[in-house]
């Protein structure tokens, strides 16, 4: 969990987290009075600057939320923190695709359907062609990959702190993603109403709960007399098995949840083109790499089993700690960061094209709030070299001249990673994650 910091109300009164817990009734009264005064509260996670918060109601309780697009003003360990949109691929979306609501949640517009009319034609598989090098700077809809990255980012799974060692299991990931999905809505429903996480981890209670969730939500998806809802499944890809009429999509532990998934051959082939890591992962022998799958489709109950037809999906490789990476070199850097007990963030691309610039990693434990990190592996490519120069100029402007780490990979010495920037114990001591 992120850290709670003290709050200053418009009256000047300072409420620490301990004071709020000890006096919940007085805290509610203070918030109600402050809301009536018409001035925002202030988060005191930093010594300087304004970090205004507004008042909102959740489950009949008055509470505080950050203003839209202000999360980056907070400390990275503050519960109100969120990375700036331009620090990842999230910045490519138009407001019609991703909108931050006043209650702190998000409304999204997807490129694929989450329902179909009863008796109507099945949903056509979503086109998942190769990622373009350039695309419009303002995307009006979010793809399945964008949704996977959004859930991962909002659940804070793209961030790693040494205190998380030994704690980030599939049980913790399932809980974080489900909680996050409750704050994201698409048209009529919150995402948690249709989201099922299939944990790739043994454990009778964990798999039992996932099975109950899967069967319950499959029944819910057929409740309407006019509409069939689609479910969103998240798990670890195990195999794509080509059958006579369809491809079987296997997730780890799917049989423990009495789940069988199919997709069209053409969709499986498109996935393997769009996500080449599928074949690399399935052919690899590493046990410390995961291939996370987000699958969207229509499920039905048959003889106490769930059968699903998938029409959209996306895939994302991660380390054993669920930290995403985009190349074998990034994997090496992520391993070094974890092994050296560093606190860092992995910005995700969402639906941004390849020419959209943001760091490969951000260190959060140096003397500076954010310290960008870059891996450069194709130094014989002129376009890639121009891309590198553009990044250097951008980082000098955003973070300070020369204030970024880079690894220019020598093909003859692929494990010769440069030393990391110095650690600041002041920054490391500021989190209780």
- Alpha carbon distance 83, 89 (integer Å): 11
Residue 430 has pLDDT above 50, yes or no: no
What is the DSSP secondary structure assignment for residue 307, as one 8-state letter? E
- pLDDT for res 433: 38
- pLDDT for res 81: 86
**The pTM of the whole model exceeds 0.95:** no
- Alpha carbon distance 80, 423 (integer Å): 24
Kindly state the average pLDDT of the residues 171-193: 93
Residue scoring higher pLDDT (41 or 69) = 41
Other beta carbons less than 10 A from residue 69's beta carbon: 11
Q: 95-104, 172-181, 191-200, 319-328: which has the minimum mean pLDDT?
A: 95-104
Q: Domains of the chain (ranges plus CATH)?
A: 7-73 (no CATH), 86-319 (2.40.50.140), 328-428 (3.40.1350)
Q: Nearest Cα to 232, choosing from 180, 160, 303, 290? A: 180
Buried b (16+ CB within 10 A) or exposed e, 103-132: ebbbebbbbbebbbeeeeeebebbebeeee
Distances (CA, A) of 122 to 126, 138, 229, 264, 311: 12, 30, 12, 12, 9
- Alpha carbon distance 109, 97 (integer Å): 5
Helix 170-181 vs helix 144-154: angle between axes, to the nearest 10 degrees? Answer: 110
Q: 106-120, 224-238, 374-388: which has the minimum mean pLDDT?
A: 374-388
Percent of the chain with pLDDT strictly greater than 70: 94
Each residue's pLDDT tens digit, 308-352: 999 999 999 999 999 999 999 999 999 999 999 999 999 999 998
Alpha helices in 67-225 (DSSP H): 144-154, 170-181, 204-221
- pLDDT for res 127: 62
Residue 211 has pLDDT above 80, yes or no: yes
CB-based contact 229:221 (threshold 8 Å): yes
Q: Nearest Cα to 184, choosing from 268, 111, 241, 100? A: 100
- pLDDT for res 134: 54
């Amino acid at each position: 969990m992120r850290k709670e910091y003290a709050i200053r109300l418009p009256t000047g009164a300072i409420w620490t987290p301990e004071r709020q817990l000890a006096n919940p009734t007085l805290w509610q009264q203070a918030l109600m009075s402050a809301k009536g005064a018409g001035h925002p509260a202030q988060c005191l996670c930093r010594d300087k600057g304004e970090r205004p918060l507004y008042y909102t109601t959740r489950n009949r309780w008055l509470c505080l939320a950050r203003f839209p697009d202000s999360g980056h003003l907070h400390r990275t360990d503050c519960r109100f923190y969120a990375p700036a949109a331009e620090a990842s691929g999230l910045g490519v979306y138009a407001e019609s695709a991703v909108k931050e609501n006043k209650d702190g949640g998000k409304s999204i517009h997807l490129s694929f359907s989450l329902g179909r009319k009863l008796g109507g034609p099945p949903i056509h598989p979503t086109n998942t062609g190769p990622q373009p090098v350039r695309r419009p700077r303002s995307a009006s809809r979010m793809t399945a990959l964008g949704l996977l990255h959004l859930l991962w980012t909002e659940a804070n799974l793209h961030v790693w702190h040494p205190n998380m060692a030994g704690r980030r299991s599939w049980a913790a990931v399932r809980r974080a993603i489900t909680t996050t999905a409750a704050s994201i809505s698409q048209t009529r429903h919150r995402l948690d109403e249709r989201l099922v996480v299939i944990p790739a981890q043994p454990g009778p209670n964990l798999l039992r709960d996932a099975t109950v969730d899967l069967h319950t939500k499959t029944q819910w998806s057929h409740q309407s007399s006019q509409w069939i809802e689609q479910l969103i499944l998240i798990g670890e890809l195990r195999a794509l098995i080509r059958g006579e009429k369809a491809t079987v999509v296997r997730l780890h532990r799917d049989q423990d949840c009495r789940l069988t998934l199919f997709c069209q051959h053409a969709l499986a082939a498109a996935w393997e083109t769009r996500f080449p890591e599928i074949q690399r992962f399935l052919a690899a022998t590493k046990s410390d790499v995961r291939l996370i799958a987000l699958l969207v489709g229509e499920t039905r109950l048959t003889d106490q089993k769930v059968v699903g037809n998938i029409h959209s999906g996306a895939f994302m490789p991660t380390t054993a700690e669920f930290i995403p990476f985009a190349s074998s070199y990034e994997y090496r850097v992520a391993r070094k960061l974890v092994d050296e007990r560093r606190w860092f963030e992995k910005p995700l691309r969402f639906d941004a094209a390849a020419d959209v610039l943001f760091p490969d990693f951000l260190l959060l434990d140096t003397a500076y709030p954010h310290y960008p990190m870059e891996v450069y592996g194709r130094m014989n490519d002129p376009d890639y070299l121009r891309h590198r120069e553009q990044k250097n100029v951008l980082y000098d402007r955003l973070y300070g001249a020369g204030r970024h780490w880079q690894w220019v990979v020598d093909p003859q010495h692929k494990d010769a990673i440069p030393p990391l920037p110095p650690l600041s114990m002041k920054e490391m001591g500021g989190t209780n994650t």
